[in-house]
Amino acid sequence: MRRSSLPHRETLDHLARLYAASDDPWDHRTSPYEAGKYAATLDAIGHGPFKAALEIGCGNGTLARRLADRCDRLTVMDCIPAAIRSARQVLDPLPQVTVLQGCAPQDLPDLRPDLVLLSEVLYFLTPKEITGLGGWLRARATGPVIAVNWTGPTDEALDGPRAVAILQNVLGPSDSTVHDGFRIDRFALPA
Ligand SMILES: C[S@@+](CC[C@H](N)C(=O)[O-])C[C@H]1O[C@@H](n2cnc3c(N)ncnc32)[C@H](O)[C@@H]1O
């Protein structure tokens, strides 16, 4: 069993192997479950428009493509180069979207986002990284932070509920909506 003290390098290698095997490792483009989760996520986000939204852990850009229509500016980032290549294929044609390669929290961009989307990404981070991310969000975010997490077991050291609890320790309580298999947590940050 993995321990939370394992180095982050192991998670990055695990993610890189998943993307080497498929450019859609979690069937984001085709799964009805993902489509339903995306609809619930966009409902929780609202229509915007957002002036400077940020998605951390954008994967192949499937959700970001749907979010982009609600944003004047959308910055997305992912730590895996193969994910970024796939994301660029769908997002580069959209002039309001910027695609960045980098790891949260260490490579977070110089932004003051009015929406931050953390969809199925928190449990890939270590507790220390989630705490660092929370500090960055508290200092920088001027609007809601939406965290979407599978509630079952993961292949990572953390599961979704435990990862959210760590973020709550930094940001305070969230409004939580529980769905079949996943939960959406909305943290209201001051403008
Ligand atoms: C399960 S996918 C979710 C993709 C997308 N957010 C969605 O919900 O459809 C998680 C993504 O987060 C990325 N990721 C994991 N840890 C990260 C980190 N510390 N910084 C940036 N991206 C990360 C992974 O490479 C992967 O592409």
Q: 26 CB less than 6 Å from ligand 1? A: yes
Q: Collect all residues with Cβ–Cβ distance below 8 Å to 156 and sequence separation of at least 6.
A: 2, 11, 123, 124
Which of ligand 1's atoms lies nearest the C-alpha of 34? Answer: 9
Q: With 0-12 CB in 10 A as exposed, 13-18 as middle and 19+ as buried, what is 178?
A: exposed
Q: Is residue 2 part of a domain?
A: no
Ligand 1 geometric centre to CA of 165 (Å): 19
Q: If you average pLDDT over residues 75-93, what whole number do you get?
A: 98
Q: If you average pLDDT over residues 77-95, what whole number do you get?
A: 98
Q: Collect all residues with Cβ–Cβ distance below 8 Å to 78 and sequence separation of at least 6.
A: 57, 58, 59, 84, 87, 101, 102
Any alpha helices (H) in the chain, and if so which ranges? 8-21, 32-45, 62-67, 81-91, 127-140, 160-171
Q: 105 CB less than 6 Å from ligand 1? A: no
Q: Is residue 158 part of a domain?
A: yes
Spacing of C-alpha 150 from chain mean position: 12
Q: Residue 54: which CATH number?
A: 3.40.50.150
Are 98 and 77 in contact, with CB atoms under 8 Å apart?
no
Q: If you average pLDDT over residues 172-183, what whole number do you get?
A: 97
Beta strands 182-187 and 145-150, pairing class: antiparallel
Q: Is residue 3 part of a domain?
A: no
Q: Is residue 179 part of a domain?
A: yes
Spacing of C-alpha 170 from chain mean position: 17
Are 119 and 77 in contact, with CB atoms under 8 Å apart?
no
- Nearest C-alpha to atom 5 of ligand 1 is from which residue? 58
The residue to mutate among 124, 149, 184, having the most atoms of ligand 1 within 8 angstroms of its beta carbon, is 124
Q: If you average pLDDT over residues 164-182, what whole number do you get?
A: 97
Average pLDDT value over all residues in the chain: 94
Q: 174 CB less than 6 Å from ligand 1? A: no
Would you place residue 157 in the very low, low, confident or very high pLDDT band (cuts 50, 70, 90)?
confident
Domain that holds residue 85: 8-187
pLDDT for res 1: 38
Would you place residue 7 in the very low, low, confident or very high pLDDT band (cuts 50, 70, 90)?
low
Query: Would you say residue 189 has pLDDT above 90?
Result: no
Place of tokens 């799964």: 31
Give the CA angle between residues 159, 121, 72 to the nearest 5°.
150
Most distant CA pair in the chain, distance: 44
Query: Would you say residue 54 has pLDDT above 50?
Result: yes
Q: 156 CB less than 6 Å from ligand 1? A: no
Query: Would you say residue 59 has pLDDT above 60?
Result: yes
Measured distance CA(124)–CA(113) in Å, rounded: 22
Domain count, the chain: 1
Would you place residue 8 in the very low, low, confident or very high pLDDT band (cuts 50, 70, 90)?
confident
Ligand 1 geometric centre to CA of 125 (Å): 10
Q: Is residue 17 part of a domain?
A: yes
